[in-house]
Amino acid sequence: MALNPNTIPLMTTWSKVFQITRFKGLTYKAFATERLLATAQVGDTVKRTYPSVGRSKIMDGAGSYSTRALVNTEESLVIGTKHEYSFTLVEWENYLRHMPDQQKYSEIASRELFRKIDADVLGALYSAAGSSVDDGDIGGSSGTAITVSATNVADIFIAAGMKLRLKNAYFDSNMKYEGGVVQSGMPVAAISPQVYAKLVSYLGGKTSQLGDAASQNQHAGRFDIFNIFVSNNLPSTVVVTMATIPANTQTLIINGVTIQFLDTLAATAGAVHIASTVDITRANLAAHLNNPYASETEATDTGYVAFTTAQADLLDGITATNNNTADTLSIQMDGWNSIAAPTTTVTGATVGTVTQQCIFGISNSIDLVMKKQPGLTIKDTPSANISKDFIHWDLYGRKVFADQAVGLVNVKILATGFTQASMP
């Protein structure tokens, strides 16, 4: 049969409904309290004080005593974190546009801002946790992340509860998450889907043993003393050891983004200038990862090229810390849940295993002062165009104070082989 010779174009029909965007669920409200919001003013620094604690001494027969110095220490929560998600729409196109772009992209912007808050809070909980659980706490090797399995997952919950009791943390082991309400003093745990899967396997697939509460805010039942929340937004960590200065064009690859070390910077996005020493080069790399949209002018000991927007999105949530004594770059990745280990071609450099940080603890273990919930400001575009900018933004501060840190335990899970959670 001959092919159809006609060249008449056929009509394309467009659906007027966007495809579903799958957003990560939020768990930060299981840990956060907004008790300080009522008294905080915009731009304020909220201070809390904790007292010194000593030990009693024996009084001799004459009743002599010696006074102890009293020391008050202040901690501060700064309301200064701002995130934004903005886009522009040309006004005349609204009369021709066949899709509800403003509505859909506003939804995406709002959900992304809340995801960022969630990742930020979970990362702060991990960083400030007063205790940790690793393989040594469940009968394995101390200092090693846990290879979670159906055999040891129950031991993880038991060990986390033990760490809270050793810190004299106040909690009610009988509290249950009901009606979407997180009560003060409630034991809670933010675990990954991978850890939850092993827990279900331990229970023989019978999730009814975790309780019959309807799923709300990622709630997935109760095990041991902990009310469980499953999160795809947990922090993960990895350490890169780099004791030798990189050679020209050698690379470090994180989440598919290539960072190239160059003797002379070119227009290569993400490139880092090779400084006079490995310590300075590593410090420049840390500064670059901590501010991926920025560039630094090349000089003897400075220089890097901004990442593209697409690359920066893939590096979102990274905090890099350089350590000249240990020759390491410690990378904390908030909101990633897990990721394949970075790779490098730098001579002599090594990359450690990725550790997923699950959070166990007590509710109200972080203060969150949300002065402006994610919301919308509309402005005329500062140009000669008939268009408007839609700026979604927030303003908040968060802090784990000393009396809250004792109620937090980070559980170190080996993430080798884990599938990275989808974004957003």
- Tell me: the pLDDT tens digits for 241-287? 999 999 999 999 999 999 999 999 988 899 999 999 999 999 999 99
What pLDDT is stored for residue 237 in this prediction? 97
The amino acid present at 379, given as its one-letter code, is K
368, 71 in Cβ contact below 8 A?
A: no
∠ CA 167-172-176, nearest 5°, is 130
- Nearest Cα neighbor of 416 from 210, 194, 244, 198 is 194
Q: Are strands 296-299 and 187-191 parallel, antiparallel or unpaired?
A: unpaired
Q: Are strands 187-191 and 226-230 parallel, antiparallel or unpaired?
A: parallel
Mean pLDDT value across the chain: 91
∠ CA 337-343-348, nearest 5°, is 135
pLDDT > 90? residue 31? yes
The amino acid present at 232, given as its one-letter code, is N
User: Which tokens is 264 given?
Assistant: 């002379």
For the chain, the 3-state helix, strand and coil shares in percent, each to the nearest 5, are: 20, 30, 50
Whole-Å CA distances, 250 to 271, 306, 331, 397 = 10, 18, 19, 39
Lowest mean pLDDT among 70-84, 88-102, 156-170, 290-304: 88-102
pLDDT > 90? residue 410? yes
Phi, psi of 78 (to 5 degrees): -105, 125
Alpha carbon distance, N-terminus to C-terminus of the chain: 49
What pLDDT is stored for residue 91 in this prediction? 85
Q: What is the mean pLDDT of residues 27-55?
A: 86
253, 343 in Cβ contact below 8 A?
A: yes
pLDDT tens per residue, range 237-252: 999 999 999 999 999 9
pLDDT > 90? residue 61? no
- Nearest Cα neighbor of 414 from 140, 215, 230, 174 is 140
Percent share of the chain, pLDDT over 70: 95
Q: Which residue has the tokens 């020759």?
A: 327
| CB neighbour list of residue 316: distance below 8 Å, 6 or more residues apart | 335
242, 327 in Cβ contact below 8 A?
A: yes
pLDDT > 90? residue 206? no
Q: Which residue has the tokens 């010194």?
A: 52
- Nearest Cα neighbor of 282 from 334, 322, 342, 239 is 322
Task: Give dist(CA 239, CA 262) in Å, integer.
Answer: 22
Give residue 39's pLDDT band: very low, low, confident or very high (50, 70, 90). Answer: confident
What pLDDT is stored for residue 353 in this prediction? 95
User: Which tokens is 262 given?
Assistant: 């160059």
Give residue 2's pLDDT band: very low, low, confident or very high (50, 70, 90). Answer: low
pLDDT tens per residue, range 111-148: 999 999 999 999 999 999 999 999 999 999 999 999 99
Lowest mean pLDDT among 27-41, 158-172, 338-352, 384-398: 27-41
What pLDDT is stored for residue 389 in this prediction? 92
Q: What is the mean pLDDT of residues 180-196?
A: 93
| CB neighbour list of residue 374: distance below 8 Å, 6 or more residues apart | 109, 110, 113, 114, 117, 392, 393, 394
Phi, psi of 143 (to 5 degrees): 85, 5
CA gyration radius for the chain?
A: 26
| CB neighbour list of residue 419: distance below 8 Å, 6 or more residues apart | 338
Q: What is the largest CA-CA distance in the chain?
A: 118
pLDDT > 80? residue 98? no
- Nearest Cα neighbor of 198 from 424, 421, 414 is 414
Whole-Å CA distances, 219 to 154, 179, 188, 196 = 18, 11, 10, 11
What pLDDT is stored for residue 22 in this prediction? 74
